Amino acid sequence: MNKADTPGSPGNRAPGEPQHYGDDMEQPWEDNLLERKVESDLKDLLKTLVAFSNSVKPGHTAVILIGEANDGSAKGVKNPDSIQKTVRDKCEAIYPPILWRSRVYQKDGRACVRVEIEYDGETPHFGGKAWIRKGESTQEATEAMFQRLVDYRNSKVRELAKWQGKAIFIEPDTSQTMDKRVGAIYDV
């Protein structure tokens, strides 16, 4: 991937490979992992790329659909190659480099550009300021959020973040028993 082009983009997904969020491209609303932009609305593309790279969680993919209106209708782009070059230039302005890819797709007979941003463990990313996604909007990271992004670089914090909000069950190890009188553990 450039930190850009990796195999396994949605169109080339291997059988059994999980579908990344937004593959259907028919979801009628934007959220923290999906943004639609018409060609004339690319002025804040860098900010959006940084926000997604700082907000996407491990195992998820954020998607920007350039050439679609907020309601999901296809408006298309005039020159897909030029749009992809603009995306590449903006991505190359981000430090540390982000994990991204782009491809041209057709919707209702119109050329559009799909940009995918994946979690890379190198947060926080900057294109000037640090940006994050909050619901359907891009916001400047607060000091607390900035610290959380830095903490995610630690592999233990990153692993714990994968389990945040999920039910966890702990089962006792029944292969050993403890003699409560002396505090010793014996194999059974």
For residue range 88-130, what is the model confidence (pLDDT) as tens digits?
999 999 988 999 999 999 999 999 999 999 998 888 888 887 8
User: What is the distance between the alpha carbons of residues 22 and 133, in angstroms, rounded to a whole number?
Assistant: 16
Of 102, 146, 127, 145, nearest in space to 48 by CA: 127
Which tokens is 130 given?
């640090």
- pLDDT above 50: residue 20: no
Of 111, 108, 155, 150, nearest in space to 132 by CA: 150
Domains of the chain: 10-187 (3.30.950)
The CA R_g of the chain, rounded to the nearest whole Å, is 21
Give the pairing type, strands 61-66 and 34-37: parallel
Within the chain, where are the H helices?
45-55, 80-92, 143-151, 155-163
In the prediction, which pLDDT does 17 show? Answer: 40
- pLDDT class for 16, splitting at 50, 70, 90? very low
Q: Which amino acid is at 182?
A: V
pLDDT in tens, 121-178: 888 888 887 888 888 888 888 888 888 877 776 667 767 777 778 888 888 777 766 6
Round the average pLDDT of the chain to a whole number and report it. 80
Query: pTM higher than 0.85, yes or no?
Result: no
